[in-house]
Amino acid sequence: MKRILTPLLLLLLFPGVSCSQDSAGTGNFEPSVDAMRLLSHVEILSSDAYMGRRAGTEGGHMAQAYVQQQFEELGLQPACSESFVQTFPFTASDSSPAEGANLIAVIPGTGSAAGSVVVSAHYDHLGTRNGEVYNGADDNASGTAALIELAREFTANPPEHDILFAAFDAEELGLVGARAFVRSDCFTASDVRLNINMDMISRSGAGELYASGTYHYPFLRPLIDGVPRKGPLTVLFGHDEPSDGFGDWTASSDHAPFNSAGVPFVYFGVEDHPGYHNPSDDFDAITPEFFTAAVSWIHDVLRVLDGAVDSFPD
Ligand SMILES: [Zn+2]
């Protein structure tokens, strides 16, 4: 069993983090998000108590409740409904009918222009197998944590366009939650112009984050590439061309249904690592300074893209 991270333990693990209010810096850069909270979400969601967060299981419901509570504490509005929860049916591995739950919040834009941006991350993982918990720290407690902390920043400084924050369920069972969202009235009513999807963004010894998808939407690349990196972060483009074969990630996570619906996307993720879909995908194995640098940069990219939506080609 893991313990909940105390600030003292955080400092031991991540000596660059300062707990003082005015300088939550990591070493030599100033993060655009709250690094302490970011790491805390990952440690909690990837603890054994959440039993691998498999869709439709008790652990999955616990993760749903955690994200929902964070959305409520941030004072976010439900998108398209009176509730954050968007349920959908799926078939469990034992062939029994089951129900998944996306959580969809919105931060209204301050501008008058039409169109919205969907920021997404799946919160489910693989569950337990043969008595081992697949904790899914990188996949995808990391993206879920980023989703929450990006929502915090955009609550404090609202976007120009409506931004929907979508915590999807049942990604590991075939992008089921994201597909249900794109089929829903909420997707249609929201006039979605861009999807920013985060899935595995916290573990790279080389400090490398992919911004994938610009092969399909080349107008996005200079906008993204122009955003300065901070901290230990190298941004790579790719993993999005048919010639990449099995390395083409175009259909590999929740951005795929958006792409199929004609919505431009950017997928942020790291190269596959030894922990990928293994019980060793643990909190202890993520690279905290890289993670913080990656989410900070994604935040800055999201600001730029929010400001550029009106200039996207039809
Ligand atoms: Zn994933």
pLDDT score at 146: 98
Distant-in-sequence, close-in-space partners of 15: CB < 8 Å, separation ≥ 6: none
Q: State the distance from the centre of ligand 1 to the C-alpha of 121, rounded, in angstroms.
A: 8
pLDDT in tens, 267-277: 999 999 999 99
Q: State the distance from the centre of ligand 1 to the C-alpha of 82, rounded, in angstroms.
A: 28
Q: State the distance from the centre of ligand 1 to the C-alpha of 114, rounded, in angstroms.
A: 30
pLDDT score at 27: 62
Q: State the distance from the centre of ligand 1 to the C-alpha of 112, rounded, in angstroms.
A: 34
For each of the domains in the chain, give its residue range(s) and CATH number, in order of start: 7-309 (3.40.630.10)
pLDDT score at 14: 52
Q: State the distance from the centre of ligand 1 to the C-alpha of 122, rounded, in angstroms.
A: 7
Q: State the distance from the centre of ligand 1 to the C-alpha of 130, rounded, in angstroms.
A: 21
> In terms of Cα–Cα distance, which of 313, 314, 229, 283 is closest to 14?
283
pLDDT in tens, 182-197: 999 999 999 999 999 9
27, 131, 231, 232, 307 from 254: Cα distances, Å:
33, 28, 27, 26, 23
Q: State the distance from the centre of ligand 1 to the C-alpha of 70, rounded, in angstroms.
A: 20
273-305 burial code (b ≥16 CB/10 A, e <16): bebeebbebbbebbbbbbbbbbbbbbbbbbbeb
Q: State the distance from the centre of ligand 1 to the C-alpha of 176, rounded, in angstroms.
A: 12
d(CA 223, CA 67): 30
Q: State the distance from the centre of ligand 1 to the C-alpha of 139, rounded, in angstroms.
A: 4
Q: State the distance from the centre of ligand 1 to the C-alpha of 141, rounded, in angstroms.
A: 9
Q: State the distance from the centre of ligand 1 to the C-alpha of 113, rounded, in angstroms.
A: 32
Q: Residue 297 is encoded by which pair of tokens?
A: 């940069």
pLDDT score at 4: 45
* Residues in the chain, pLDDT under 50: 1-9, 12, 15-25
Q: State the distance from the centre of ligand 1 to the C-alpha of 291, rounded, in angstroms.
A: 15
Contact in structure between 31 and 293 (CB atoms under 8 Å): yes
> In terms of Cα–Cα distance, which of 307, 259, 278 is closest to 125?
278
Q: State the distance from the centre of ligand 1 to the C-alpha of 85, rounded, in angstroms.
A: 20
* Coil, helix or strand at residue 145: helix
pLDDT in tens, 88-142: 999 988 889 999 999 999 999 999 989 999 999 999 999 999 999 999 999 999 9
Q: State the distance from the centre of ligand 1 to the C-alpha of 26, rounded, in angstroms.
A: 26
Count CB atoms within 10 A of the CB of residue 130.
5
